[in-house]
């Protein structure tokens, strides 16, 4: 009997140049090589959403996992499942309770083994750390720019006379 799997893809922008197409092509190829039966594909194109509720396809994936509609969830990368370690650990725990395996193809990780579960969690920690470092660097750069006298944001469209009228 073939293993029934769900594919999950996500891009975190609404930019038309970034789509789930590359992830989907790789994941379908992986499933073909492994002899898996893809029962459903879940695709999210959401920017900045951290929780399940703000990612409709991810939310549907979790609900279908609880219904045991498949045995494995295949994703491209650990970072596609979650942006926070707390959410990722919760996701892995929920799937483990239901006997659903999670595979991150890019990372070569599979939660069906204890070493795979450990590595999946470790990579999740490193992904979150990397994201926090990026935020810290961005904020430091913005602070330096402001300290050097540069104003952030776009130029005002209000003329001095319009400003006086508003204030009066």
List, by residue number, the catalytic residues. 12
| Secondary structure tally for the chain: helices H, strands E | 6, 5
Output the six-digit token pair for 99: 């006997």
Quote the radius of gyration of the chain (alpha carbons, Å): 21
Output the six-digit token pair for 116: 């795979």
Burial 54-82 (b: 16+ CB within 10 A, else e): ebebbebbbebbeeeebbbbbbbbbbbbb
CB neighbours of 91 closer than 8 A, spacing ≥ 6? 62, 81, 82, 102
Contact 56, 89 (CB under 8 A): no
């Amino acid at each position: 009997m073939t293993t029934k799997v769900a594919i999950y893809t996500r891009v975190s922008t609404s930019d038309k140049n970034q789509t789930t197409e590359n992830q989907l092509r790789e994941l379908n190829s992986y499933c073909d090589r492994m002899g898996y039966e893809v029962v459903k594909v879940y695709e999210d194109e959401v920017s900045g959403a951290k929780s399940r509720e703000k990612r409709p396809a991810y939310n549907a994936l979790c609900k279908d996992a609880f219904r045991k509609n498949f045995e494995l969830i295949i994703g491209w990368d650990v970072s596609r499942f979650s942006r926070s370690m707390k959410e990722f650990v919760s996701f892995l725990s929920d799937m483990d309770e239901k006997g659903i395996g999670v595979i991150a193809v890019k990372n070569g990780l599979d939660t069906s083994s204890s070493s795979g579960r450990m590595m999946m969690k470790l990579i999740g920690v490193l992904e979150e750390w990397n994201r926090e470092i990026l935020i810290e660097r961005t904020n430091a750069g913005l602070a330096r720019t402001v300290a050097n006298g540069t104003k952030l944001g776009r130029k005002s469209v209000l003329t001095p006379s319009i400003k006086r009228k508003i204030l009066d």
